[in-house]
Amino acid sequence: MSQANKTLVAPAHVGAIAPYQAGKPIEELAREFGLDPAGIVKLASNENPLGMPESARQAMLAAANALARYPDPNGFDLKAALSQRYGVPASWITLGNGSNDILELVALALLEPGSAAVYAEHAFAVYRLATQARGARHIMVAAKDHGHDLDAMLAAIDTDTRVVFIANPNNPTGTFLPGEAIARFLEQVQQAHGESVTVVLDEAYNEYLDPELRFDSVALVRRFPNLIISRTFSKAYGLAGLRVGFAVAQPALTDLLNRVRQPFNVNTLAQAAAIAALADGEFQQRSYATNKAGKAQLVAAFDALKLRYVPSYGNFVLVHVGDAASINLELLKRGVIVRPVAADGLPQWLRVSIGLPAENERFIAALTEILSA
Ligand SMILES: *Cc1c(COP(=O)(O)O)cnc(C)c1O
């Protein structure tokens, strides 16, 4: 008998994962720098600066009575509400513990060692993490103007490729691909690869798009059996802390996602709050308007400071500051948390989430002071 191995053993592909770097929590900065948490401005995680909708708070209070029971494993009521909103049967919807969970489910269902996933340089970091966690190969395609180069992504699909991830708008760059470009890409993928390659269209920031840019991605799901769209309640709906998102795909793909899904992945409070938030048109309108105004405020300041930025379609702006690490440290000392994006291959840039007018102003004042020192 061989001697038992007594050291910690993990697959090499797990050891190779560089962990996700989240935005610094307010309490952590307060501890590290001895600051008053109340004076700290956090513009680092693309959260909704309006807080959560009051309608969702009320729905959660009512749902709290049921917390001794497991959540509805099939999310019947939330799926019914989503089904009505998007005009698809409930059997086309998968609920996730945040849309991160949806991305993980895709990787779990479709990737394995020997297979590959394609995504863009500077795309959402979770595509890499989910792919690596499966021991699959990742094919990162160079960005074009900080966004996805769909022609190059099409060309990068090889015989092992099972998944293509597209973030639209993309995080952290804020770039956007119009509906026609997405539709053409899907046609090309289908022509060249049939249904052997699944395309994930991650639309976490969809609700922030100006109305004239919105396109009916659910109609694309009806046309393409290899398309999954992913949405979240974390951003425009203001429920990041609850962790709830969803996917829309045809039944065959939806069935695969549900085979690898934890039965109780979306908790009772999250389901109740999401139903309320979905119906809260007033809050959604306010989120959109606050974001649009805040974006104009930040961009005007960057113009005045002669800083380059990537025109953003999300609730954040990527701005070129040069020595981003030092400037980030100076911002932290002044109680302003933004997001360094060196890990996304953007060492000279910072990503700033759009806050309330006063929060944006705090950031602008701090940045102006730092740059003029
Ligand atoms: C924020 C974000 C998500 C999802 O976040 P969840 O909170 O897990 O729903 C997904 N994709 C992109 C591109 C994001 O920026």
Provide the sign of the torsion angle of the four alpha carbons 87, 57, 99, 213, taken in this order. positive
Residue closest by Cα to atom 3 of ligand 1: 204
* Closest atom of ligand 1 to CA, residue 97: 8
* Ligand 1 atom with least separation from CA of 172: 15
125 Cα–ligand 1 center, Å: 10
For each of the chain's 373 residues, which pLDDT tens digit applies?
A: 556 667 888 999 999 888 887 888 999 999 999 999 999 999 999 999 999 999 999 999 999 999 999 999 999 999 999 999 999 999 999 999 999 999 999 999 999 999 999 999 999 999 999 999 999 999 999 999 999 999 999 999 999 999 999 999 999 999 999 999 999 999 999 999 999 999 999 999 999 999 999 999 999 999 999 999 999 999 999 999 999 999 999 999 999 999 999 999 999 999 999 999 999 999 999 999 999 999 999 999 999 999 999 999 999 999 999 999 999 999 999 999 999 999 999 999 999 999 999 999 999 999 999 999 8
R_g over Cα of the chain? 21
Atom 4 of ligand 1 has which residue's CA nearest to it?
A: 99
Token pair, residue 325, equals 């690490």
Tokens of 2: 């061989």
CA angle 315, 341, 123 (to 5 degrees): 70
Strand, coil or helix: 319 = strand
For residue 53, which of 242, 305, 257 has the smallest C-alpha distance? 242
Predicted pLDDT at 7: 85
Minimum CA distance residue for ligand 1 atom 12: 204
Compute, in angstroms, the gap from residue 95 CA to the centroid of ligand 1.
Answer: 14
Residue ranges of domains in the chain, CATH in brackets: 12-51+282-372 (3.90.1150.10), 54-280 (3.40.640.10)
202 Cβ inside 6 Å of ligand 1: yes
> Are 320 and 314 in contact, with CB atoms under 8 Å apart?
no
| CA of 45, closest atom in ligand 1 | 1
Is ligand 1 within 6 A of the CB of residue 167?
Answer: yes
For 31, phi and psi rounded to 5 degrees? -65, -45
| CB burial of residue 292 (10 Å; 0-12, 13-18, 19+) | middle
Q: Within 10 A of 45 (CB to CB), how many other CB atoms are there? A: 18
Pocket test for ligand 1, best of 202, 229, 318 (most atoms within 8 A of CB): 202
d(C-alpha 327, C-alpha 342), whole Å: 13
Euclidean distance between CA atoms 81 and 243, whole angstroms: 18
Please spell the DSSP secondary structure of 242-289, one letter per residue.
G--EEEE--HHHHHHHHHHS-TT-S-HHHHHHHHHHHH-HHHHHHHHH
Residue nearest to atom 11 of ligand 1 (CA): 204
Q: How many Å apart are CA 231 and CA 205, to the nearest integer?
A: 8
Ligand 1 atom closest to residue 235's alpha carbon, by position in its atom list: 1
Determine how many CB atoms are found less than 10 A away from the CB of residue 5: 7
DSSP-based three-state secondary structure for 75: coil
Per-residue pLDDT, 2: 58
Yes or no: say if 327 and 370 are a contact pair by the CB < 8 Å rule: yes
pLDDT attached to residue 146: 97
State the Cα–Cα distance between residues 104 and 95, nearest whole angstrom.
12
